[in-house]
Amino acid sequence: MQYLAVLGRQPKLSLAELESLFSDVTPLGLTLATFTSTDISSISRLGGTIKLAQEISEKPEKYLLDLNFDGKIVFGISDYSKGANARKTQSLALKIKRVLKTNGKSVRVLENKDAVLSSATVFHNQLGEKPGHIEFIKYGNRWFVLTGVQNINAYRDRDQGRPARDAKVGMLPPKLAQILINLCGPLEAGSRILDPFCGTGVVLQEASLMGYSVYGTDASERMIEYSDKNLAWLNKKSDSLVEVGDATNYEWQPPIDAVASETYLGPPMSEPPVEIKLKTVEQECRGIIVGFLKNLAKQIKKDTPVVIAVPAWLRPDGSYYRLRLLDEFEKLGYNVVKYKNLSQRDLLYHRDGQVVAREIIVLRKK
């Protein structure tokens, strides 16, 4: 089955996520990608995909005429093709509505303020969710029908609703945590995922909601209490283990099927650091991350995926200063995973106004 993904705000990272899970991933322009899958359970597991749709062989008019649904049809069109505009998209939708009306169907068309409907509009109108509520997505002469849109409320509730939060350790967005987990590649349900810098437990929360067993360790006792509290809030304590431990020398309890972690990122910063400070912080982070990878290499099996987010710092000129760890991984006993549609430089997660960005590194134990 051919699927279409509308990629999130960090489209390269979203592409990497899709490549890790599905075959034939092909970018269409900068914001879309198609891929093949026989079974895709739900968009709620894909942190980097905003809308998910399935290709249809007929045009929307025929699709709607053949639809076995007696109630009022609510539909909208998003045209992601080059040169698309709201006026053309809206007039196409109204033309389809007229044909359907003459065929005795009751129809409402969602108004296009832009050539594409925003995910918020799609979500609030329950397109792809409620029977007869449909979004058609056009790209060139290909048509897709929406199967799901990112549930913004669910992400917000998981992020802001959890009882133990700490701005100082940074706020890993749940979507990014899902991406880190998915970059491990397909894992069997119930696999055990380790986060050795678990902090308040965002990776543990997301992994447990995705059906994995979770194991978190952190050097700080307070953080372990926070992770414990947050997992209890999700009712996921039974399939989890959290312990205090320094990642550079801790002996983890097997099994470890995959590792997904936002490592130590250094102190929070509100403006780009001066070179001298950058050097000190870099050394500290590098020491902890290399020490951790060395310690981990002795404890995991060949091919175990290890996905880490490491810091990169915004410089006054707008570029990012990276840890340049790539040469180290080989020596430490890991291969760096390569992608078809992007390079390592693309695996950077940053938000406007943030000084500490995250570079994502995907490794496999040699």
Q: Which residues bind ligand SAM (CB under 6 A)?
A: 169-170, 172, 196-197, 199-203, 218-220, 223, 246-248, 262, 264-265, 288
185 sits in the region (left: phi over 0; alpha: psi -120 to 50; else beta) called: left
Pick the closer one to ligand SAM by CB: 201 or 273.
201
Cα distance between residue 244 and residue 224, in whole Å: 6
Q: Residue 62 half-sphere exposure, CB side, CA atoms within 13 Å?
A: 5
Pick the closer one to ligand SAM by CB: 138 or 158.
158
Pick the closer one to ligand SAM by CB: 112 or 200.
200
Q: Residue 154 half-sphere exposure, CB side, CA atoms within 13 Å?
A: 13
Pick the closer one to ligand SAM by CB: 93 or 247.
247
Closest by CA position to 51, among listed 159, 172, 188, 148: 148
Q: Are 18 and 48 in contact (CB under 8 A)?
A: yes
Q: How far is the CB of 203 from ligand SAM (least distance, A)?
A: 6
Q: How far is the CB of 216 from ligand SAM (least distance, A)?
A: 9
Q: How far is the CB of 195 from ligand SAM (least distance, A)?
A: 7
193 sits in the region (left: phi over 0; alpha: psi -120 to 50; else beta) called: beta
Q: Which two tokens stand for residue 199?
A: 């902090």
Q: How far is the CB of 344 from ligand SAM (least distance, A)?
A: 21
Helix then strand then coil, in percent of the chain rounded to 5, is 35, 25, 40
Chain position whose Cβ is nearest to ligand SAM: 199
Provide CB contacts within 8 A for 45, sequence distance 6+. Answer: 178, 182, 210
Beta bridge pairs of residue 3: 35, 54
Pick the closer one to ligand SAM by CB: 265 or 363.
265
Closest by CA position to 209, among listed 183, 180, 174: 174
Strands (DSSP E) found in 133-221 = 133-139, 142-149, 192-195, 213-218
Pick the closer one to ligand SAM by CB: 2 or 220.
220
Pick the closer one to ligand SAM by CB: 134 or 198.
198
Pick the closer one to ligand SAM by CB: 76 or 199.
199
Helices (H) and strands (E) in the chain, counts: 10, 17
Q: Are 72 and 41 in contact (CB under 8 A)?
A: no
Distance of alpha carbon 36 from the chain centroid: 18
Cα distance between residue 182 and residue 184, in whole Å: 5
Pick the closer one to ligand SAM by CB: 48 or 196.
196
Pick the closer one to ligand SAM by CB: 165 or 315.
165
Q: Are 313 and 280 in contact (CB under 8 A)?
A: no
